[in-house]
Amino acid sequence: MTANIEVNGAPRALEVDPGETLLDALRAAGFKGVKRGCENGTCGSCVVLLDGVPHFSCLLLAAALDGRKVTTIEGLGTPDAPHPIMRAFAEEAGVQCGYCTPGMVLSAKALLDAGPRPTEAEVREAFDGHLCRCTGYVKQVQAVLRAAAELGNTGTGTGSGTGERTGGAR
Binding residues (CB under 6 A) for ligand FES: these are 36-39, 41-46, 56, 58, 95-100, 132-135
Q: Which residues pair with 21 in a beta bridge?
A: 61
Q: Report in angstroms how near the CB of residue 38 gets to ligand FES at its nearest.
A: 4
At its nearest, how many Å lie between ligand FES and the CB of residue 19? 16
Nearest to 61 by CA among 71, 50, 72, 53: 50
Q: Among residues 23 and 114, whose Cβ is nearest to ligand FES? A: 23
Closer to ligand FES by CB, 19 or 155: give it: 19
When the beta carbons of 27 and 146 are compared against ligand FES, the nearer one is 27
- Contact of 167 with 110, CB cutoff 8 Å: no
Give least dist CB 123 to ligand FES, A.
Answer: 15
Q: Report the side by side order of strands in the sheet with 53-56.
A: 10-15, 2-7, 69-71, 47-50, 53-56
Contact 31, 39 (CB under 8 A): no
Looking at residue 127, what DSSP letter applies? Answer: T
Q: Closest distance between ligand FES and the C-beta of residue 42, in Å?
A: 6
Report the residue number, 92 or 116, with the smaller CB distance to ligand FES. 92
Strands 69-71 and 2-7: parallel
Nearest distance, CB of residue 27 and ligand FES, angstroms:
11
Angle at 22 between CA 14 and CA 70, to 5 degrees: 80
Please, which residue, 7 or 48, has the CB nearer to ligand FES? 48
